[in-house]
Amino acid sequence: MKRYLVLSDGTIYQGLPLGASGVTTGEVVFNTGMTGYQEILTDPSYAGQIVLLTYPLIGNYGINDDDFESDRIQPTGLIVREACEVPSNWRATKSIHNLLEERGTVSIQGLDTRAITKKIRSAGVTTGAIADDPDQGFEAIKKATGYDEQDFVYSVTTKAPYAWGVTGKEPINEPMGSYKHTLVVLDCGLKYNILRRFSVAGCRSIVLPAGTSADEVLSYRPDGILLSPGPGDPARLGPVIETVKNLLGKKPMFGICLGNQLLCHAIGGETFKLKFGHRGSNHPVKDLSTGKVTITSQNHGYAVDPKSLEGTGAEVTQLNLNDGTVEGIRVPDLQASSIQYHPEAAPGPWDSRPYFGDFVEQMAAGKK
At 279, phi and psi to the nearest 5?
-145, 105
* CA distance between the termini of the chain: 66
CA distance 141 to 5: 11
If DSSP codes are grouped into helix, strand and coil, which group holds residue 294?
strand
Selected catalytic residue, list 27, 69, 327, 344: 344
Cα 306 off chain centre by: 22
Instruction: Tell me which of 278, 283, 300, 342 is the catalytic residue.
Output: 342
Do the Cβ atoms of 80 and 105 come closer than 8 Å? no
Report whether 97 contacts 18 (CB < 8 A).
yes
Q: Which amino acid is at 193?
A: N
The question of whether 344 is a catalytic residue gets the answer: yes
- 342 in catalytic set: yes
Q: Considering 257, 265, 283, 300, which one is annotated as catalytic?
A: 257
Cα 234–Cα 235–Cα 236 angle in degrees, nearest 5: 90
Neighbours of 355 (CB within 10 A): 20
- 3-class DSSP assignment, residue 304: strand
Contacts of 148 (CB under 8 A, 6+ apart): 233, 273
DSSP structure class, residue 45: G
Cα angle 141, 150, 157 (rounded to 5 degrees) comes to 125
Residue 363 carries which side chain, given as an amino acid letter? M
Could you list the active site residues? 257, 342, 344
